[in-house]
Structure 1
């Protein structure tokens, strides 16, 4: 059964709500015999999540090293700065990009998927860790007195200047990180769209053959 979206309902069609349509199309993708036809649809969200996990590790490690934290609070900082961006990236990409694509919610705007994918990637893999990373490092440095830092209750401008000073040497790496995230999300989303077109084309071919065979049997 091919998934069809439109105002005119074909004869003998099975009406599905959005949740049922989502479950159906993902079952088709999961059970598809030729994995080369659907590899991006299946694995792109997890690959992008892995990329953001690596970015979270790098950002967390940089600020921890700058503030000489050693092993203090390491596990407590890894989970929100590394694991959460990876998980959220995979979930948001799968739901807001891949599933929308499979359900043809924005079939006339392929560039919308790439923009949305890039926003998720940079938001979860750069903006999110760049807020939590420095804050967590400052909190632990203040608690364990591992580095001289301004009092957290002082003028916010003083703290901002302090963070800008320790971040400046890392600017090149951060820029490369963002460009890499945008490139990865754009490339993988492009292959997801190719997989989606190929999958739908093959499903239509299979249904056309079935209909032709039924017509021959009836005659």
Structure 2
């Protein structure tokens, strides 16, 4: 981010951070973390499902939980902050629907695509290492894909539901943040207008 743009963002965010009442800016200040928690829940389900399919049970829980449950919190929060909240606060988007669609797309990636790609890979790796499930070797990618599809097919409706929910969450949270920003901008404009109106009579008086 260019230095001038960064300064503009920090100046705008300092106003938001100290804004009263805090309820006016609740979404802007808190919802990026909510996107992370939503991604974490999705990752937890996907991690649990594929661990169960390859019979890992309670083994290597932490090594699979880090990339699937904890890391999505940071990935989703950072992506949302960088590619949704900053452009929103800097008013780079004149199309409200466009920024909401971006928010939904980023949440779909962080809360569904990322864990769906990483989850089976992590589970299959540890299953092969610990010999908990007979899997084809990495030299047989087609057979590995067949195993993945066999595991995934029974829960496809649930996975589509998760994908839709993540997209809807991203769009809804972005909409709430945009509404917060609109509220702040409207109130600041009203304050500036009142200051001009209060100053006008004084200027007229001093001119005599």
TM-score, reference length from structure 1: 0.87
Q: How big is each residue's C-alpha offset from its partner over 1:23-49, in whole Å with a ceiling of 9 and x where there is no partner?
A: 011111111111221111112211111
What's the C-alpha RMSD, in Å, of the aligned pairs?
A: 1.5
TM-fit CA distance, 1:214: 3.4
Does residue 142 (structure 1) correspond to residue 128 (structure 2)? The answer is yes
1:27 to 3, 6, 14: 14
**Larger mean Cα displacement after TM superposition, 138-147 or 38-47:** 38-47
Q: How big is each residue's C-alpha offset from its partner over 1:67-103, in whole Å with a ceiling of 9 and x where there is no partner?
A: 1112222111111122222211111112211221111
Return the structure number with greater helix share.
2
Q: How big is each residue's C-alpha offset from its partner over 1:129-149, in whole Å with a ceiling of 9 and x where there is no partner?
A: 111110110110011111121
1:119 to 105, 122, 134: 105
Give the alignment of 1:93-112 within 5 angstroms.
93-107=80-94, 109-112=95-98
- Residue in structure 2 matched with residue 11 of structure 1 by the alignment: none
Give the alignment of 1:1-219 within 5 angstroms.
17-107=4-94, 109-154=95-140, 156-218=141-203, 219=205
CA distance in 2, matches of 1:150, 1:181: 32
Q: Is the 8 A contact 2:80 2:103 kept in 1?
A: yes
Structure 2, unaligned runs of 5 or more: none
Q: Is the 8 A contact 1:89 1:121 kept in 2?
A: yes
CA distance in 1, matches of 2:103, 2:54: 33
CA distance in 1, matches of 2:155, 2:138: 22
Structure 1, unaligned runs of 5 or more: 1-15
Q: Is the 8 A contact 1:72 1:140 kept in 2?
A: no
Q: Is the 8 A contact 1:49 1:87 kept in 2?
A: yes
CA distance in 1, matches of 2:150, 2:195: 67
User: How many residues are paired up?
Assistant: 202
TM-fit CA distance, 1:217: 4.2
